[in-house]
Amino acid sequence: MIDAIRDHFESLETTGEESSRDRTALFNQLNALPVENGERIKDEESQSKTESVGGHSYPDLSVLCQDLNEKASHPQVSIANSPSANSHVCQDTNPPASANPQTSNSTSPSPITNSAIRVDVNLLDKLMNLVGELVLCRNQILEFANQQAVNAEHDDAFKSASGRLNLVTSELQEGVMKTRMQPIRTIWSKFPRVVRDLAVSLNKQVQLEMEGEETELDKTLIEAIANPLTHLVRNCLDHGLDTPDMRIAAGKSQVGRLLLRAYHESGHVNIEVSDDGKGIDLENLKQKALQQGIITPTQALHMTEQEALHLIFLPSFSTSETVTNISGRGVGMDVVRANIERISGTIDVESRLGQGTSFKLKIPLTLAIIPTLIITSGGDRYAIPQVNLLELVRLDREQAEQRIEWFHGTPVYRLRGNLLPLVYLNQVLQLENNTGVQESSGIGKTSNAKKQSLIPEQEDETINIVVVQATEKPFGLVVDVINDTQEIVVKPLGKPLKSLACFAGATIMGDGKVVLILDVQGLAQKTLITSPEKEKALVNEDSQSVNSTAIPQQLLVFHAANQRRLAIPLSKVSRLEEFPRDRIEYLGDQEVIQYRQHIMPLIHLSAVLSNGYSEFQVRDRQSEISEDKQPVIVVSLQGDKQVGLVVDQVLDIVEQGINIKGVSPQKAILCSAVIQGKVTEIIDVHALIEQGLSVVKPMLV
Amino acid sequence: MTKTTQLCTFFLDNLFLGIEVENVQEILRHQEMTRVPLAPPVVAGLINLRGQIVTAIDLRRRLELKPRAYDPLPINIIVRTPDETVSLLVDEIGDVLDVSDDDFERPPDTYRGGVRELIQGSYKLPNRLLLFLDVDKVVDFTVMD
């Protein structure tokens, strides 16, 4: 019958008109449905439909309404499955108007015709802004009330007044927020069809269960999670659920179970997508990650279960052997996570082999007003969203000296046995400290200098650590003062400041001052990547978070300088050449070669990199290795200038992300990394030329 | 028939500058500002304009003049551009002047400086030159950094 309706709508779409007889036939069909509640609503709905177009009951108009209904891209299956959803869809058809979501609740006892009004979304937005202002105003008054506590006479009256203001504002805020709320049913209603179609094409049997359909979320959030949720559902069907044969073999019922569950919990909406399928095989996962070069064998060995599970969120990671039109391309889960994080939500995964997988999404109720922790650093206040907050740690001077330890120049704190990397907010933001001891750039200093400035000078001073979590790994944010928690209204930053990753926005505090909201994720990205020392610490502790950010690069790997394994970015290389040894000429002390009508200087990597060798020894060494041919990597500089790097042997070209394992003591070496399972040093081309060509540099420039 | 333009004028260091009066939303005395760490130095801070957060641009830095002495405090010219509202910090505010397009001239060919594109030209007033600022370009400095 659903297909009948579908055909019906399709013909509507193509022809654009239809006789009223067909429609009544359809309605008869629909009325024949054994849903008693649905009948009532459909009747009323068809009434309201015709009313909504001005009290005329022209069949064409209601047909038009249905046509719109179809174009709103809500699947028709909802009509059969959930009549209330259908009524909602119908109200939602006119683009400028937003239906009041409460009315779509079929359990509501009030008559449907009167309880729904159409409100312009822009008007709602404006209302929302106004309430935001009111919240700020309330904060201001509350602060004022606290200050005036000395003045006893008017005290009580004023306090009660401000108390009432507090109450009213909160209620108003809640009420206005609700106008933007929509039940999660709006997205779930299309899942039965998605699931059924997919199950048929995958030859699996699935029973879809939904709990908490009436859980409400902000309209913008509903829109934002629709795609990630669909992806999760498809993933669960494709990867999670096993085939009927496998299920029977595993002693489970033939029909798989897919459960969607939504519920409120402490200011958040939790959404769970779980299946009772085969679960995620962690060993298989690790093997795949190893094959794809995402992790190293040692990492795989030391990985916790949770860390291994989080591999599925890495970009371009896929466990699927084959690419189908459903999945296997390796994009998806990372995008899902990015989308969820963009709306300040979190995603977590639990899996038991053979028993099933469950994804848990934690979504904030609304984005406009968020609870935050206000802290002070470098004399300014900042707000940290409480979604990112794990706990607060306070250390006095004595404890700080004992418990803050140094991991090769990087401060860490032992939090219940685990090392928590510390990030000093005033350093990250390059704020001058109040004491003025410390210069703005904390990075690259010796650990001693750091240590001095980080341990508080006075006896009574304490160290406040805000433990935050942006991705899977928490870190400690060291701040000067922890002030208060406060609900704030998020305001966007101006266009020129949008590029600052560290800030998510700004807000206005009770005293009228502007306070910046920290973006913990941006902060993490900044601190965990730009500082090589800190990165190193993190790599050793947990390379996963760093791995995920390494961008694959093409590298040319070669041997040079006493068989050292070196690499250079392929983008810098213009050609690989082999020159007969006798073509090398001299320009003063500099070896040069005539190459394409230019005089190209040659750099002996051995000379630059091995401080101990004199150039003659080096040359002798090389003439032993190869008699008459000299491999040269031609590196192009700006313009048409070129430099030749004299190497022993060109090995390979690899493409992979560089996982920096250490800072090199030598200037011309950018860093060292593990490439193809061997330690390889990556050359800093500019520093190399600087060092190796001081003589002929004028010739190049 | 010559066209006249109304310019809101202000002083900055020893310069006499003007912007189109239609762009100006309001003029405010010194406002308390919140500094923005890691932002380009041109950004002086954020101000609270009746609940709206507005980025304040240090026009001296923007025009590569020497930094402001602490006294007197700068004045905010709140400027509206198609994209957003920003505040320009200037030394002192002048009158709104009617200038004739006949008096307009492009910047002299010998005028260099990195800020050439920010100044559209000058109006030749009887006693001094009024430099005409391109507000959209002044506000759009993300490209520069």
CB contact under 8 Å between A514 and B34, yes or no, is yes
A148 occurs within a structural domain: yes
Residues A577 and A649 in one domain: yes
Residues A135 and A207 in one domain: no
Residues A235 and A288 in one domain: yes
CATH number, domain with residue A354: 3.30.565.10
Report yes or no: B97 and B124 within 8 Å, Cβ to Cβ.
Answer: no
Instruction: Suggest the residue from B28, B38, B49, B88 to mutate for an interface test with chain A (most A CBs closer than 10 A).
Output: B38
Strands B43-49, B24-28: parallel, antiparallel or unpaired by DSSP? unpaired
Structure tokens at A625: 């290795």
DSSP code at position A215: -
Of all residues in chain A, the percent with pLDDT exceeding 90 is: 2
What's the pLDDT at A509? 83
User: Which residues of chain A are within 8 Å of residue B58 when distances are taken between CB atoms?
Assistant: none
CB contact under 8 Å between A430 and B38, yes or no, is yes
Report yes or no: A531 and A443 within 8 Å, Cβ to Cβ.
Answer: yes
Between B33, B45, B142, which is nearest A495 by CB? B142
B86 has a chain A CB within 8 A of its CB = yes
For residue range A647-698, what is the model confidence (pLDDT) as tens digits?
877 877 777 666 655 555 566 677 777 777 677 777 777 777 766 665 555 5
A272 occurs within a structural domain: yes
Instruction: Tell me the C-alpha to C-alpha distance, in Å, between residue A35 and each of A100, A441, B46.
Output: 24, 69, 59
Residues A129 and A176 in one domain: yes
Instruction: Suggest the residue from A128, A514, A515, A525 to mutate for an interface test with chain B (most B CBs closer than 10 A).
Output: A514
Residues A566 and A691 in one domain: yes
Residues A663 and A574 in one domain: yes
A1 has a chain B CB within 8 A of its CB = no
Query: What's the mean pLDDT in B93-120?
Result: 82
- Choose between A443 and A565: higher pLDDT: A565
In the sheet that holds B104-105, the strands lie side by side as: B92-100, B4-12, B15-20, B129-133, B119-124, B104-105
CATH number, domain with residue A382: 2.40.50.180
Tokens 């990630």 found at: A228
Q: Number of folded domains in chain A?
A: 5
SS3 A491: strand
- Choose between A94 and A296: higher pLDDT: A296
Residues A379 and A496 in one domain: yes
What's the pLDDT at A537? 40
- Least confident window among A96-100, A393-397, A526-530: A96-100
For residue range A540-595, what is the model confidence (pLDDT) as tens digits?
433 333 333 445 677 888 887 667 788 887 777 777 788 787 788 887 777 788 87
For residue range A409-431, what is the model confidence (pLDDT) as tens digits?
788 888 887 788 888 888 888 77
| End position of a domain, from candidates A531, A561, A578 | A531
A544 occurs within a structural domain: no
User: Which residues of chain A are within 8 Å of residue B140 when distances are taken between CB atoms?
Assistant: 496
CB contact under 8 Å between B84 and A497, yes or no, is no
CB contact under 8 Å between B34 and A429, yes or no, is no
Query: What's the mean pLDDT in A449-454?
Result: 41
A437 occurs within a structural domain: no
Structure tokens at A589: 């002390």
Within A216-281, residue ranges assigned H as helices are 219-235, 244-249
Q: Which residue of B has its CA nearest to A516?
A: B36
CATH number, domain with residue A148: 1.10.287
User: Which residues of chain A are within 8 Å of residue B32 when distances are taken between CB atoms?
Assistant: 512-513
A388 occurs within a structural domain: yes
Closest CA to A224 of A85, A342, A70, A373: A342
- Choose between A136 and A192: higher pLDDT: A192
Whether the per-residue pLDDT at A40 is higher than 70: the answer is no
User: Which residues of chain A are within 8 Å of residue B55 when distances are taken between CB atoms?
Assistant: 493-494, 496-497
**Can you name the residues that pair with A424 across neighbouring β-strands?**
A478
Could you give the CA distance from residue A521 to residue A529 in angstroms, rounded to a whole number? 12
Shortest Cα distance, chain B CAs vs residue A682, angstroms: 29
Respond yes or no on whether ipTM tops 0.85. Answer: no
Could you give the CA distance from residue A39 to residue A203 in angstroms, rounded to a whole number? 34
A590 occurs within a structural domain: yes
Closest CA to A315 of A522, A530, A549: A549
Tokens 């390796």 found at: A330
For residue range A249-275, what is the model confidence (pLDDT) as tens digits?
888 888 888 899 998 876 678 899 988
Residues A515 and A648 in one domain: no
Shortest Cα distance, chain A CAs vs residue B67, angstroms: 19
User: Which residues of chain B are within 8 Å of residue A503 when distances are taken between CB atoms?
Assistant: 36
Q: What is the phi/psi pair of residue A459, to 5°?
A: -60, -40
A631 occurs within a structural domain: yes
SS3 A276: coil
Residues A407 and A481 in one domain: yes
CB contact under 8 Å between B36 and A497, yes or no, is yes
Residues A301 and A407 in one domain: no
For residue range B37-93, what is the model confidence (pLDDT) as tens digits?
888 888 888 998 877 888 998 888 888 887 777 667 888 999 988 778 899 988 888
The count of CB pairs under 8 A between chains A and B is: 69
Q: Which residue of A has its CA nearest to B82?
A: A495
One-letter identity of residue A496: P
Range of the domain at A503: 371-432+461-531
A577 occurs within a structural domain: yes
Q: Which residue of A has its CA nearest to B143?
A: A496
Residues A476 and A501 in one domain: yes
Tokens 């704020």 found at: A431
Residues A172 and A140 in one domain: yes
**Fold of the CATH domain B4-139:** OB fold (Dihydrolipoamide Acetyltransferase, E2P) (2.40.50)
